[in-house]
Amino acid sequence: MFGYILRRLAVAIPTLLLLIIFSFLLMHAAPGGPFTGERSLPPQVLANLEAKYGLDDPLLVQLWNYLKSVVLHFDFGPSFVYPDLTVNKLIADGFPITMTYGFLAFALAAVVGIALGSAAAIRHNTWLDYLAVGTAIGAQVLPNFVMAPILVLIFTLWFKWLPGGGWSFSDPSFWVMPVVALGTSYMASVARITRSSMLEVLSSNHIRTARAKGMPESRVILRHALKPALLPVISYLGPVFVSMITGSVVIDIYFSTGGIGRAFVDSALNRDYAVMMGVTILVGALTILFNLIVDILYAWIDPKIRY
Amino acid sequence: MVIEQAKMQSLASRMVEHEVKGRSPWADARKRFVRNKAAMAGLVILILVALFALFGAHFAAWSNEELDYNVMGQVRELGMPSIASGHYFGTDDLGRDVYARTVQGTGISLMVGIVGAAIAVIVGTLYGATAGYVGGRTDQIMMRTVDILMSIPYMFVLILLLVIFGRSIGMLFLGIGLISWLDMSRIVRGQTLTLKNREYIEAARATGVPSWKIVLRHIVPNLLGVVAVYATLLVPLMILTESFISFLGLGVQEPLTSWGALISEGAGTMNYGTLWQLAFPLFFFCITLFGFFFVGDGLRDALDPKDR
């Protein structure tokens, strides 16, 4: 197991370094720098600015310095557009918010999805099954950017129950719509995957044996059916986590929650390369880390995986 | 030995008349597909949406760029959907005809979806089939590359590309095409691994057919079923990706539009009571996704009869 984790890390770390180098080079291939705005600066001022941010060094030196500061000090440098902001400050402000509703949405997708899917499989071909399948099909065409306006329309404009935007760590009524908008379509996918794999497991030999022994049904399902049925779900959870982070961009913009998604899109529109790179690298690191966790979890649960 | 001449005669003539017609696997699949009601409904929806995108513009009373100055400022009262004013789907807050804009957006979204899936099919099939057929170290390197590319948060990289190289529709195609083939290549490789030990491939190799010809002539045609199913399911994913980016305002730029951009505009003006601006693009978006998902599922059931 330990060797397996080490081997996976040996792939993950170069991947992350490649991502940093790739986005760095991409930024520098871009026409126009962060200081080529509407008003052109006098050459001397421009030269001073470039010297301040180290943009006049050779490319390789810049890359080396950037890698050093990111890897050793976890420092993404200053924002190019707002000189008094650092990228670290932007991330520190936005990230806890994104993580809070992201984690809740992930929990919604995983817990409710698995429960719904299992219930549908256990009560195969009853109204519960049809309801679950219907919800799953319906939610497939309702991604976060469609759910968000629909939720606001119903719960803010018509019923006036929930605030239509903003964020507060102390008031959960601000959390409801971001979490539901972000989690629904993945909840549906998780439910669908759980249902079909649970159906397959329930018709397998070891379940028949367990039932023949006279084991109570609840124990059959919890002890014998759930674990093998969850395998395909676990391998799906990695991509779900990544989509949650990506989807947070829409949530941050639509609900003005103040997470890192807003910072990312603003920086994309302003060509604030430092912020874009910082967010991309952070998300990349999280993606790689989470895929690693999912792989380890999978290897731990599935005895057929050799590591 | 007496053979009943008359009986044999009649049997022979019957056999000539009622020649047993062989059925190809594709004909079987077509039959199963036609019997699947959800899939057929999906197909009909998709054909209607495509007709709407192709010919809808001929029935529009207004062009997609004209501003109706009469309704400007009073969109809520005068910009309602109505046959009399020629704005079948109403107008947006600038007085532009939502019907004409929806036709245009439908065309562009469908095009992005289909082109993205087409790139995935071509690149992914060739890449996956080559990796699977050649095998060994080449396969290792090729699939490791795919693994690495897949662990990159592609939406962020796509936005990065769009910002750096300009937000044009060409760049959008390229960016979506760059990421869409990864899954396809994995699926195709897996399928190729099972195909490559079949007798007919062995026979081809024994008669000295070059490797590239085996891949193109013998492997790729036998992958078509898997590829067709996955391509149908890929189109809605491409449409979703494009809509996501356009919703953020980073995709298709004015005067062009797409479902994502229209939904974004509609969601932004919903507070003013102009719900039709959200409802019509959203309706077309949802039914098209439904259509593709149903057709994809139907194709999978039809082409893979053991899986049910």
What's the rounded Cα separation, in Å, for the pair B180 and B237? 9
| ipTM of predicted assembly, 2 dp | 0.77
pLDDT bucket at A306, cuts 50 / 70 / 90: low
Residues in chain A within 8 Å Cβ distance of B151: 12, 15, 284, 287-288, 291
> Which of B151, B247, B282 is closest, CB to CB, to A288?
B151
Tell me, yes or no, whether A51 lies in a domain.
Answer: no
> Which of A145, A242, A269 is closest, CB to CB, to B247?
A145
Residues in chain A within 8 Å Cβ distance of B282: 146
pLDDT one-digit tens code per residue, B219-257: 888 888 888 888 888 888 888 888 888 888 887 877 788
Backbone angles phi, psi at B255, to 5 degrees: -80, -5
Tell me, yes or no, whether A53 lies in a domain.
Answer: no
Residues in chain A within 8 Å Cβ distance of B249: 265, 269
Percent of chain B with pLDDT over 90: 7
Contacts of B295 (CB under 8 A, 6+ apart): B39, B42, B43, B46, B232
pLDDT one-digit tens code per residue, A22-41: 878 877 776 666 666 656 67
Mean pLDDT for B202-223 is 88
* CA A220 to the chain's CA centroid: 34
Tell me, yes or no, whether A80 lies in a domain.
Answer: no
Q: Do A141 and B155 make contact, defined as CB atoms within 8 angstroms?
A: no
Which residue in this structure is represented by tokens 């026409």? Answer: A31
Q: What is the CATH number of the domain that holds A236?
A: 1.10.3720.10
**What pLDDT, on a 0 to 100 scale, did the predictor assign at position B263?**
87
pLDDT one-digit tens code per residue, A222-250: 888 888 888 888 888 877 887 788 778 88
Q: Do A146 and B165 make contact, defined as CB atoms within 8 angstroms?
A: no
Which residue, among A27, A81, A142, A246, would best test binding to B if mutated, counting the most B CBs under 10 Å from its CB? A246
Tell me, yes or no, whether A159 lies in a domain.
Answer: yes
Q: What residue of B is the nearest CA neighbor of A276?
A: B160
> Which of A15, A30, A245 is closest, CB to CB, to B151?
A15
Of A61, A54, A66, A73, which is closest to residue A19 (Cα–Cα)? A66
**What pLDDT, on a 0 to 100 scale, did the predictor assign at position A38?**
58
The answer on pLDDT for A21 being more than 90 is no
Backbone angles phi, psi at B91, to 5 degrees: -125, 165
Contact with chain B for residue A246, Cβ under 8 A = yes
- The per-residue DSSP string of A32-45 comes to S-TT--SSPPPHHH
Residues in chain B within 8 Å Cβ distance of A12: 151
Q: Do B286 and A146 make contact, defined as CB atoms within 8 angstroms?
A: yes
| A218 vs A307, more confident | A218
How close, in Å, is residue B152 to chain A by CA atoms?
6
Please report, for residues A24, A222, A224, A225, A229, the alpha-carbon distance to residue A118 in angstroms, rounded to integers and kept in the order given.
45, 10, 13, 10, 9
Contact with chain B for residue A13, Cβ under 8 A = no
Percent of chain A with pLDDT over 70: 95
CA A226-A228-A233 angle, 5° bins: 85
Q: Do B270 and A284 make contact, defined as CB atoms within 8 angstroms?
A: no
Of B211, B204, B232, B179, which is closest to residue B43 (Cα–Cα)? B232
The answer on pLDDT for B307 being more than 70 is no
pLDDT bucket at B18, cuts 50 / 70 / 90: low
The total of structural domains in chain A comes to 1
**What pLDDT, on a 0 to 100 scale, did the predictor assign at position B308?**
42
Are B119 and B127 a contacting pair, CB within 8 Å?
no
The answer on pLDDT for B306 being more than 60 is no
**What pLDDT, on a 0 to 100 scale, did the predictor assign at position B48?**
93
Mean pLDDT for A139-155 is 84
| A175 vs B61, more confident | A175
Of A209, A208, A236, A217, which is closest to residue A106 (Cα–Cα)? A236
**What pLDDT, on a 0 to 100 scale, did the predictor assign at position A138?**
81
Terminal-to-terminal C-alpha distance of chain A: 6
What's the rounded Cα separation, in Å, for the pair B81 and B76? 10
**What pLDDT, on a 0 to 100 scale, did the predictor assign at position B206?**
92
Mean pLDDT for B53-78 is 75
Contacts of A247 (CB under 8 A, 6+ apart): A143, A144, A182
Tell me, yes or no, whether A22 lies in a domain.
Answer: no
As a whole number of Å, the CA-based R_g of chain A is 24
The answer on pLDDT for B203 being more than 80 is yes
* Residue-wise burial string across B110-123, b where 16 or more C-beta atoms lie within 10 A, e elsewhere: bbbbbbbbbbbbeb
What's the rounded Cα separation, in Å, for the pair B251 and A142? 20
Q: What residue of B is the nearest CA neighbor of A279?
A: B156
CA B241-B247-B249 angle, 5° bins: 110
Tell me, yes or no, whether A99 lies in a domain.
Answer: yes
Question: Which among A45-54, A184-193, A252-261 has the top mean pLDDT?
Answer: A184-193
Tell me, yes or no, whether A110 lies in a domain.
Answer: yes
Length of chain B (residues): 308
Q: Do B153 and A142 make contact, defined as CB atoms within 8 angstroms?
A: no
The CA-based dihedral angle spanning residues B210, B211, B212, B215, taken in that order and rounded to the nearest 10 degrees: 120
Q: Do A265 and B163 make contact, defined as CB atoms within 8 angstroms?
A: no
A135: its two tokens: 């919800």
**What pLDDT, on a 0 to 100 scale, did the predictor assign at position B172?**
82
Give the up-direction half-sphere exposure of residue A150: CA atoms within 13 A in the CB hemisphere. Answer: 16
Q: Do B163 and A271 make contact, defined as CB atoms within 8 angstroms?
A: yes
Q: Do A280 and B153 make contact, defined as CB atoms within 8 angstroms?
A: yes
Q: Do B164 and A268 make contact, defined as CB atoms within 8 angstroms?
A: no
**What pLDDT, on a 0 to 100 scale, did the predictor assign at position A37?**
60
- Spell out which chain B residues touch chain A, with contact meaning CB-CB distance below 8 angstroms: 144, 147-148, 151-153, 155-157, 159-165, 240, 243-244, 247-250, 260, 263-264, 266-267, 270-271, 275, 278, 282, 285-286, 289-290, 293
- The per-residue DSSP string of B217-249 comes to IIIHHHHHHHHHHHHHHHHHHHHHHHHHHHHTT
Percent of chain A with pLDDT over 90: 5
For chain B, where are the alpha helices, taking DSSP H only?
5-17, 25-35, 37-55, 75-78, 98-134, 136-150, 154-164, 169-195, 199-206, 211-214, 220-247, 259-269, 276-303
CA B284-B289-B294 angle, 5° bins: 125
How close, in Å, is residue B160 to chain A by CA atoms?
7
Backbone angles phi, psi at B97, to 5 degrees: -75, 120
Contact with chain B for residue A242, Cβ under 8 A = yes
Residues in chain A within 8 Å Cβ distance of B243: 143, 145
Please report, for residues A21, A62, A73, the alpha-carbon distance to residue A59 in angstroms, rounded to integers and kept in the order given.
11, 5, 21
Are B137 and B127 a contacting pair, CB within 8 Å?
no
Backbone angles phi, psi at A272, to 5 degrees: -90, 85
Tell me, yes or no, whether A171 lies in a domain.
Answer: yes
Mean pLDDT for B149-176 is 78
Contact with chain B for residue A288, Cβ under 8 A = yes
How close, in Å, is residue B300 to chain A by CA atoms?
15
Q: What residue of A is the nearest CA neighbor of B164?
A: A30
Residues in chain A within 8 Å Cβ distance of B248: 249-250, 253, 265
Contact with chain B for residue A222, Cβ under 8 A = no
**What pLDDT, on a 0 to 100 scale, did the predictor assign at position A287?**
82
Domain assignment of residue A209, given as a range? 93-273
pLDDT one-digit tens code per residue, B126-149: 999 999 888 888 888 888 888 777
Other beta carbons within 10 angstroms of residue B159's beta carbon come to 27
* Arithmetic mean of pLDDT over chain B: 82
